[in-house]
Amino acid sequence: MQNFIKIKDWSNAAKVSISILVTVLYIVLFFPLYNLFGPTVTAFVVFPVIVFAFFFGVLTGAIAGVISFGLNAFFLTFTADHQPEILFGYGGLTGHFLIFVLGIIAGWMSNQSYKLTKHIDASRRIRERIRHRNRELAALNNTITDILERQSDLPLLLQTILKRAVKLLDATGGDLGLFDEEKYEVYVVTSFNMGKDFSGTRHSLGEGAMGKVAETGKPIIIPDYREWEGRSPKYADGPWHAVMAAPLKAQDRLIGAIGIVHTDPERKFTRSDLWLLELFARQAAIAVDNARLLESEREQRRLAQALRESGAALSSILDTNTLLDTLLSWIGKVVPYDAANVMMIEEKHARVVRMQGYNRFGKEVEQRVATLSIKIEETPNLRTMIETREPLIISDTLNDPEWMDYALSDVVRSWAGAPILVQGEVKAFFSLDNTKPGFYHQEHSHRLKAFAGEAGLALHNAQLFAQIQHQASTDPMTGLYNSRFFFDHLEKELQRSRRYSHKCSLIMIDLDDFKKYNDQYGHLAGDDLLKKLAELIKSVLRDVDVPARYGGDEFVILLPETGLEEAGAVAKRLSETVRRCRFITYDGRKIGRITVSLGIAEYSQKYKSTREFMEAADRAMFYSKEGKDRISVAK
């Protein structure tokens, strides 16, 4: 049947040529056949008549039958018998009438057979299309079922949607993007088999295939993307040819867009492919919308639970460093990160004070972050958070002018930050880093804001506690530790020395002639002198040393891990520093040289108590006071 249709569908020129060829063949063979068959040779004219009828139908068959009668009559005039009247006899007329009728019948049958064959062929093609469409719908149904089963995990769902679309349409690869309602952009969230990962790439409405369908709301077929005038420069170097894209819409609301590509120049997407992609995109959009709702509901529950638990936990933590470490751990449950840090504001700079996760990038990077101090005015993202007092999301750091160039610029692809406010003033920042572009979005901003509020309250409590603790342990005039804190610390240090046989020394200090100074210059000048002496004491000590005001004009220094010789060096350095200093009263009066008397004692097992140890250093100091400006060692 297919061959019959193909012959009938030949061009008219071809059909005319073949019909004439058969007729010419009849003419050429007429006389040779006449010698063999005599006048009956005229019956062979039926062949060209049937050919004409087959090709051109009933009318042509009838005309061919009439012409054949005249043709035979003409040829018979040239025969040896010269008897054309044979044709006009009963048999000749009857025979040619039958040929005439045969031409009509042959033409009619040819027409009917052609129509029937075309109908059968059309039916077959329709059945084939139905079977193909059923296979597509079955595959689509299986795909949608598979997608619906993954609605509980949005990232996995998006990856599944894209891979299933590529497989369903026998394509090479593709991208799937979500619509950013705030920036009016489509940002790619997952990329599959595109030669490189386009995740994080952003398209403005109308830009590229996905931007175009997002703008128009209609799917498109692009026969050759490289020749398409609307192509995006971000995809200009790709090896693909045919491209198809469709919007993801749920209840007339734009969710995103999906685009699939093929690298074979011979592969062309059809209208049927586009219909299937559009149908698939509608179902996928509903799944994504549902998954977002589920994810949002789960996130709200997680956030509420995390805030309740963190609030209860944080309220009991009063040490600032412990608090900041706990904050970083808790915030990871609300907003996931690869690495994160807390930056405190210190004199217009943001300095990293606590961090987590940077060890995964190596010791060099970890060290760079640990010592990082950034000038806020020169850092757009920090400056923005100071001005707005709102969290900031940088979805793709490579394509955002707000991003700062700092220690991890080469690996951080998505960033989220939030200011921590204490009594309405920005005191610190959360800084969250992720290596995957497009990871953070505006929903994370809402979670960060809620958690940063809890963090501000907890940080305020810790700072109040530290302030109270500082006041309870510090002498208000000199800023050194008070005697209560000193004795507590001394007791702990002596216990450690006894247990581990570590060295420990004391230096007692007394300001020479302080009473005379007070009488001459007044108590306010005396207070200033004590403050200045406290500064000089701190200037010669290590961070681990513990200086305290013992009472009146007497001071004491605890030197952990220090023997008598090292303690003597510290005492000498302090004595010389005080002696070189020229004091001036608060009202500008110059004072002569000031000196101190010092007593040193090194702890040993001969001291049965802390009191005995203190008295030994005190006796040495009083011995020094007899001559003034001296250093004495306890016996």
Strands 414-422 and 631-633: unpaired
Q: Are residues 279 and 326 in the same domain?
A: no
Mean pLDDT value across residues 397-420: 78
Q: How many domains does the chain have?
A: 4
Q: Which residues of 606-628 are buried (b: 16+ CB within 10 A; e: fewer)?
A: ebeeeeebbebbbbbbebbbeee
In this prediction the pTM is 0.48
| Tens digit of each residue's pLDDT (9 = 90 or more) over 609-624 | 889 999 999 999 999 9
Within a domain: 251: yes
pLDDT at residue 422 tops 80: yes
Q: Greater confidence, 451 or 10? A: 451
Beta carbons within 8 Å of 144's beta carbon, 6+ residues apart: 280, 283, 284, 287
The pLDDT assigned to 158 comes to 80
Within a domain: 75: yes
Q: Are residues 164 and 222 in the same domain?
A: yes
Mean pLDDT value across residues 274-290: 79
pLDDT at residue 132 tops 60: no
Q: Which H helix or E strand runs over 254? A: strand 253-262
The pLDDT assigned to 110 comes to 60
233 C-beta neighbours (distance < 10 Å), count: 8
Within a domain: 513: yes
Q: Are residues 448 and 326 in the same domain?
A: yes
pLDDT at residue 403 tops 70: yes
pLDDT at residue 418 tops 60: yes
Q: Are residues 78 and 185 in the same domain?
A: no
Q: What CATH number does the domain containing 495 carry? A: 3.30.70.270
Token look-up 């386009």 returns 198
The pLDDT assigned to 118 comes to 66
Name the pLDDT band for 68 (thresholds 50, 70, 90). low
The pLDDT assigned to 560 comes to 92
Mean pLDDT of the chain: 79
The pLDDT assigned to 116 comes to 64
Q: Are residues 350 and 335 in the same domain?
A: yes
Within a domain: 392: yes
Within a domain: 480: yes
Name the pLDDT band for 238 (thresholds 50, 70, 90). confident
DSSP H helices, 149-202, are 154-168
The pLDDT assigned to 4 comes to 47
Token look-up 């996931």 returns 336
Q: Are residues 365 and 401 in the same domain?
A: yes
**The token pair that represents 407 in the structure block:** 């220690």
| Tens digit of each residue's pLDDT (9 = 90 or more) over 12-61 | 666 666 666 666 666 666 666 666 766 666 666 666 656 655 566 556 65
Q: Greater confidence, 61 or 232? A: 232
Q: Which H helix or E strand runs over 393? A: strand 392-394
Least confident of 110-124, 178-192, 560-574: 110-124
Within a domain: 164: yes
Q: Are residues 462 and 501 in the same domain?
A: no
Mean pLDDT value across residues 186-199: 88
Q: Are residues 288 and 358 in the same domain?
A: no
Mean pLDDT value across residues 566-570: 94
Q: Are residues 596 and 493 in the same domain?
A: yes
Least confident of 69-78, 93-102, 161-170, 424-433: 93-102
Name the pLDDT band for 117 (thresholds 50, 70, 90). low
Q: Which of 178, 189, 271, 190 is nearest to 223 (CA)?
A: 271
DSSP for residue 188: E
Least confident of 158-167, 478-487, 541-550: 158-167
Q: Greater confidence, 263 or 52? A: 263
Rounded-to-integer distance, Cα 448 and Cα 446, Å: 5
Mean pLDDT value across residues 250-258: 86
Q: Greater confidence, 317 or 324? A: 324
347 C-beta neighbours (distance < 10 Å), count: 8
Name the pLDDT band for 112 (thresholds 50, 70, 90). low
Name the pLDDT band for 168 (thresholds 50, 70, 90). confident
- Given a contact cutoff of 8 angstroms between Cβ atoms, the answer to whether 364 and 418 are in contact is no
Least confident of 79-83, 121-125, 314-318, 486-490: 79-83
Mean pLDDT value across residues 300-323: 66
Least confident of 56-60, 279-283, 472-476: 56-60
Rounded-to-integer distance, Cα 156 and Cα 399, Å: 25
The pLDDT assigned to 326 comes to 81
The pLDDT assigned to 5 comes to 45
Return the ∠ at Cα 460 (arms to 454 and 465), rounded to 5°.
130
Please give the single-letter amino acid code of residue 322.
T
Please give the single-letter amino acid code of residue 63.
I
What's the domain range around 462?
315-469
Q: Are residues 249 and 351 in the same domain?
A: no
Within a domain: 308: no
Please give the single-letter amino acid code of residue 112.
Q
Name the pLDDT band for 600 (thresholds 50, 70, 90). very high
Within a domain: 307: no
DSSP for residue 265: T
Q: Are residues 346 and 456 in the same domain?
A: yes
Mean pLDDT value across residues 615-634: 92
- Given a contact cutoff of 8 angstroms between Cβ atoms, the answer to whether 254 and 179 are in contact is yes
Q: Percent of the chain having pLDDT more than 70?
A: 70
Q: Are residues 381 and 263 in the same domain?
A: no
Mean pLDDT value across residues 238-253: 86
- Given a contact cutoff of 8 angstroms between Cβ atoms, the answer to whether 250 and 283 are in contact is no
Strands 596-602 and 631-633: parallel
Least confident of 163-167, 293-297, 527-531, 625-629: 293-297
Q: Greater confidence, 13 or 414? A: 414
Q: Percent of the chain having pLDDT more than 90?
A: 20
Mean pLDDT value across residues 361-377: 87
Mean pLDDT value across residues 210-214: 91
pLDDT at residue 512 tops 80: yes
The pLDDT assigned to 202 comes to 87
Rounded-to-integer distance, Cα 277 and Cα 258, Å: 9
Least confident of 149-163, 240-254, 373-387: 149-163
Name the pLDDT band for 126 (thresholds 50, 70, 90). low
The pLDDT assigned to 363 comes to 86
Q: What CATH number does the domain containing 341 carry? A: 3.30.450.40
Mean pLDDT value across residues 108-126: 64
DSSP-based three-state secondary structure for 149 = coil
Token look-up 């990293």 returns 352
The pLDDT assigned to 90 comes to 42
- Given a contact cutoff of 8 angstroms between Cβ atoms, the answer to whether 398 and 357 are in contact is no
pLDDT at residue 471 tops 90: no
